[in-house]
């Protein structure tokens, strides 16, 4: 059974601000998986190793930072 993520957490282009802190998987233009990177909420995602690739959040950080009180 596959868990669906909200559209805002997948298909993220390099340079886009990360919507949440955590591990992001690089997804190639044909669906192949590349390296994982760690990003902080609000910081831009780094360039990918292959043109046309995007990022998908695979492991969100498990803390309360950035939640606002």
pTM, rounded to two decimals? 0.78
**pLDDT tens readout for residues 26-64:** 999 999 999 999 999 999 999 999 999 999 999 999 876
d(CA 47, CA 64): 27
Domain map (residue ranges) of the chain: 8-59
Both structure tokens of 17? 């601000």
Q: Measure the CA–CA gap between 28 and 35, rounded to whole angstroms.
A: 10
Residue at token pair 């990003």: 39
How far apart CA 7 and CA 49 sit, in angstroms, is 22
Instruction: Report whether 55 contacts 27 (CB < 8 A).
Output: yes
27's tokens: 């997804």
């Amino acid at each position: 059974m596959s868990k669906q993520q909200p559209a805002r957490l997948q298909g993220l282009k390099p340079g886009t601000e990360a919507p949440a802190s955590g591990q992001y998987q690089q997804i190639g233009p044909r669906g192949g998986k590349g390296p994982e990177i760690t990003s902080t909420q609000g910081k831009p995602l780094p360039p990918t190793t292959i043109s046309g690739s995007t990022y998908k959040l695979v492991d969100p950080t498990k803390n309360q930072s950035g939640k606002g009180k």
